[in-house]
Amino acid sequence: MQVEVLGNQIQWLKIVMQSESIQGDYKRLLCKSEGITANKTVFSGTGNLFFSGSGKIKQFYLDAQDSIVLKKTSVIVTDITTEQNPLSASYLDLVTFSGPGAVFVCGKGDFVEFYLEEGETVKARTQCIIAMDSTVKFELGSRFSELSGPGAVLLESAIPEEEESKELTFFDRL
């Protein structure tokens, strides 16, 4: 399988498959070759697939022992070999992906990437969380979430419009 990220501000993904299968978000599918069959989440066959992001696209490659926590709606496509486990979380749908295999995610705007050292804690806007190492401890809040290291964190830089117009409640200010 050949994969290429194209575009600048709003990126898109071109995938060339030769009798292969991938898992993908059908809602993000732009176009597929006639030789590709698709159901709700699996695309198989030979030909080209094009998927749209909502901004920047980033690839994570997971070895067999690796896992990562992702915002469910940010996932575009994954290798068929990756394992997905939903996390039960208020305020944000999260999924743990385990390797081996590649996972492609997208975010609005640019990406903000940083690493939290052991014991280091930040408060990040909940709806902007795209990905974090499985070693990052988190406590999700309605507007901001507490993230504690060690581990890498990936945020999208664009604040969702519905977040911008919300009035702060007493609990948001705590």
Yes or no: say if 140 and 90 are a contact pair by the CB < 8 Å rule: yes
User: pTM score, two decimals?
Assistant: 0.89
* Separation CA 134–CA 82 (nearest Å): 15
Give all domains of the chain, ordered by start, each with its CATH number: 2-107 (3.60.160.10), 111-165 (no CATH)
Cis peptide preceding 150, ω within 30 of 0: yes
pLDDT at 161 over 80: no
pLDDT tens digit string along 32-48?
999 999 988 999 999 99
